[in-house]
Chains A and B, each alone.
Chain A
Amino acid sequence: MRIFLCLLLLCPLFAEEELIVHLNSQKILTPLYLTPIQNKGGFEQSYVDLLQQVWNFDFANDGSVQLVSKPENVVSLRSVLTKKNLSITLTNPTTGTVHGIENITLSGNLSEDRKILHRLHDTVFETLFHTPGIADTRILYTVRTKKTDSSSNWETTIWESDYDGANAKLLISNGHLCVTPTFVPALDEKRAEHFLYVSYQVGQPKIYVSSLETGIGTRLSFLKGNQLMPQISPTLDKIAFISDVTGNPDLFVQDFSLEKGLLGKPRQIFCAPSAAQGTPTFSPDGKKIAFVSNKDGTPRIYILDIPKPGTPLQQLQPNMISKKTRNNTCPNWSPDGQKIAYSATTAGVRQIWIYDLLTSEEQQLTEGSGHKENPVWAPNSTHLLFDSATDLFMINLNQKKGIKITSGPGEKRFPSWEPLKQKRSI
């Protein structure tokens, strides 16, 4: 009896320990020695120092490299700037290979040169690891600021920036609330050219599409009621969103074409009595949707096979995947199809968790104070962006240290990471 009581008292200790779980690093980081950029004239040293910072950030946070201070027996990258031409040499002592790129002309414009360095990083990364890097990608996000007039209202704008938060460019600013921007993936050979977002400019929130070039939004859906949280399938043939046209926030899908926009009528694919549904995200093959519903009490993450038209409600079998924690929100399906990131309240704080679809395990990725939400995957399925407090943070599964990538006034929220289909040449 005493032994039993002792075990009973020890149980909470084990339960406590279960919550503090971290993903194991998927791979060992490769040591790399990055020589300081050798400046042989052409630019001020202060400018070269700025370039060096970009270079350092890319390698220090790419999830596969660990920068080391000594060049002995490790991969090394030597950079020489002759006048305005940059040459790099990558030496791998293990394989005995040497790769070089000569005479990449820099402009002296930091915005432009940052992009060139990002592309160079991705080229080096692909040479080393045979997989595309993510330094030459873009992100979208909203910035919420309080209006300066006497009203207590907020204004939200949509911004685009490089993956590291630099080169921020204002896309949408019409004095109205705008939320949940998301890239529209491009067809095979191109970069994303459009994005979807929700704007309150006619009153109720409606779905708009805009060019990344012009930032001019066009209404995409004329459905009645509130339309929220649009997501486009990676297969580019449908969008999912939440609408209360039925009188309840339910899950809808609608056929989509990059050339013609929305096709046919939106189709209600999930509803539950007195429950709110939210934040849909597609599987990479576009056949499933993960979403939030509070149909069983606290909000949880569910996966639903997108039903064929005419499938009765009783045949829908959403599968609840998040069971360890409460208040689970904002799921985001990784491009490799193996993981779903989401936000979950853990010991009173919203943390980022990851559900592994291969093992059906939930694991906590972040910790510490400050609510973290809206996680989105990078195209490499290793890096994530999320918002916390007033800024965006980047984290990757192999390094697990959140890096703040934005600064300045306003709350930065609802990040979206540009999907990639093909590497780009320098």
Chain B
Amino acid sequence: MKTTLLCALLTTLLCTSCARSRCELWEDTKTCGRYVNKGMRSLMGQHVDSREYVAYYEQWDEGTAQSELDYVPLTSSDQTQTLAMQEYASSSKESPGDPGSKLPGIDGFTTPSGKLAELFKNIRFNTDSYSITGSETVASLHKIANYLASHPDKYVFVEGHADERGAAAYNLALGSRRANAVRAFLIQNGANPDQLFTISYGVERPLDFAHMEESWQKNRRAQFKIFVR
């Protein structure tokens, strides 16, 4: 009798604990299928993007899957570890000025004037830095992010500039880093990535041509250009 009761109890427990909805079962099957597929492709020497990377891009557009990326990203070997690139903002759908783009190149964007000039103030940086610091700067960027969130017809180029003291080639990379830091901040605070583009000028377009600290401070900047569609 005791044995019969024990068997019945175990059977009940096993049956209920293993019970899964059809959805869960389908998801598990898909996951299993992905890993088998990934393993087979890896064995064949083919590149496989991490799911985390794709998931990151899907937060803005579910249609932007890995197959649509126009480059092959680095992947992480550890599925739990965030890829270095995931801290940055996703790229926009448009490439201004390119064939097929509905947006003009930067020549079609204008320097903000009037009230917008007050809003889109230049963002300054410390030497060899791309950190956004200072309560005024942060407040200014919050206002810009709010404005862009409420004006989806506005498109903005963020220009990254450097002062003359660094090497010209390195400053092109630094300018890109600065512009992207501002873009990422704006996106994190509500702007749509499709509204924001970056351009790096390095030392090529200084605001102030003097060779002194005050001038260099002005030249280490992110600057904005606007287009209204």
> A residues engaging B (CB < 8 A)?
144, 152-154, 156, 177, 179-180, 200-205, 222-226, 228-229, 242-250, 252, 265-274, 276-279, 292, 294, 298-299, 308-310, 312-316, 327, 329-330, 343, 350, 371, 373-374, 413-414
Instruction: Report the nearest A residue to B105, measured CB to CB.
Output: A203
A152-B205, A248-B180, A312-B75 given as contacts; is B197 within 8 A of A204 (CB)? yes
Shortest A406–chain B CB gap in Å is: 16
> Are the C-beta atoms of B74 and A269 separated by less than 8 Å?
yes
Q: Which are the 6 A-B pairs with shortest beta-carbon distances?
A: A247-B88, A312-B77, A203-B105, A203-B106, A278-B173, A202-B97
**Alpha-carbon gap, A282 to B207, bound state (A):** 35
A residues within 8 A CB of B167? 327, 329-330, 343, 350, 371, 373-374
> Can you list 30 A-B pairs with a CB-CB distance of less than 8 A?
A153-B205, A154-B204, A179-B172, A201-B105, A202-B96, A203-B157, A204-B95, A204-B197, A222-B95, A222-B98, A223-B70, A224-B70, A245-B91, A246-B85, A246-B91, A247-B88, A249-B173, A249-B180, A249-B200, A266-B70, A276-B173, A277-B173, A310-B48, A313-B76, A313-B77, A313-B83, A316-B74, A329-B167, A330-B167, A413-B168
**Alpha-carbon gap, A273 to B83, bound state (A):** 9
> Are the C-beta atoms of B176 and A268 separated by less than 8 Å?
no
**Alpha-carbon gap, A310 to B174, bound state (A):** 28
Instruction: Report the nearest B residue to A243, measured CB to CB.
Output: B71
Given contacts A242-B173, A247-B184, A276-B130, 17 further A-B contacts (CB under 8 A): A204-B95, A224-B92, A225-B95, A243-B71, A244-B177, A246-B85, A247-B183, A266-B71, A268-B85, A271-B84, A273-B87, A278-B173, A279-B173, A312-B75, A312-B76, A313-B74, A350-B167
Shortest A224–chain B CB gap in Å is: 5
Question: Which residues of chain B from 56 to 95 have a CB within 8 Å of any chain A CB?
Answer: 69-78, 81, 83-85, 87-92, 95
Q: Hey, what's the 0/1 contact readout for B111-138 against A, CB within 8 Å counting as 1?
A: 0000000000000000010100000000
Shortest B216–chain A CB gap in Å is: 14
B residues within 8 A CB of A204? 95-97, 105-106, 197-199
**Alpha-carbon gap, A320 to B184, bound state (A):** 29
Between A245, A246, A250, A267, the greatest number of chain B beta carbons within 10 A of the residue's beta carbon is seen for A246
Q: Which one, A243, A274, A313, A371, contacts B75 given CB within 8 A?
A: A313
Q: Hey, what's the 0/1 contact readout for B12-31 against A, CB within 8 Å counting as 1?
A: 00000000000000000000
Q: Which one, A223, A272, A413, contacts B71 given CB within 8 A?
A: A223
**Alpha-carbon gap, A134 to B193, bound state (A):** 50
Contact of B169 with A by CB under 8 A: yes
B residues within 8 A CB of A244? 176-177, 179-180, 198, 200
> Are the C-beta atoms of B72 and A276 separated by less than 8 Å?
no
> Are the C-beta atoms of A309 and B72 separated by less than 8 Å?
yes
A residues within 8 A CB of B130? 274, 276
Instruction: Report the nearest B residue to A297, measured CB to CB.
Output: B128
* Interface residue tally for chain B (C-beta within 8 Å): 62
> Are the C-beta atoms of B169 and A310 separated by less than 8 Å?
no
Contact of B107 with A by CB under 8 A: yes
Instruction: Report the nearest A residue to B82, measured CB to CB.
Output: A273
**Alpha-carbon gap, A155 to B177, bound state (A):** 23
Shortest A10–chain B CB gap in Å is: 33
> Are the C-beta atoms of B200 and A205 separated by less than 8 Å?
yes
Instruction: Report the nearest B residue to A275, measured CB to CB.
Output: B177
> Are the C-beta atoms of B75 and A310 separated by less than 8 Å?
yes
**Alpha-carbon gap, A192 to B216, bound state (A):** 40
Q: Which one, B46, B74, B77, B201, contacts A271 given CB within 8 A?
A: B74
**Alpha-carbon gap, A269 to B107, bound state (A):** 32
**Alpha-carbon gap, A226 to B158, bound state (A):** 12
A179-B172, A228-B172, A330-B167 given as contacts; is B205 within 8 A of A154 (CB)? yes
**Alpha-carbon gap, A4 to B109, bound state (A):** 66
Q: Hey, what's the 0/1 contact readout for B35-51 against A, CB within 8 Å counting as 1?
A: 00000001001111000
B residues within 8 A CB of A373? 167-169
Question: Which residues of chain B from 156 to 201 have a CB within 8 Å of any chain A CB?
Answer: 157, 166-170, 172-174, 176-177, 179-180, 183-184, 197-201
**Alpha-carbon gap, A179 to B87, bound state (A):** 29
A residues within 8 A CB of B71? 223, 243, 245-246, 252, 265-268
Question: Which residues of chain B from 194 to 229 have a CB within 8 Å of any chain A CB?
Answer: 197-201, 204-207, 209
Instruction: Report the nearest A residue to B201, measured CB to CB.
Output: A177
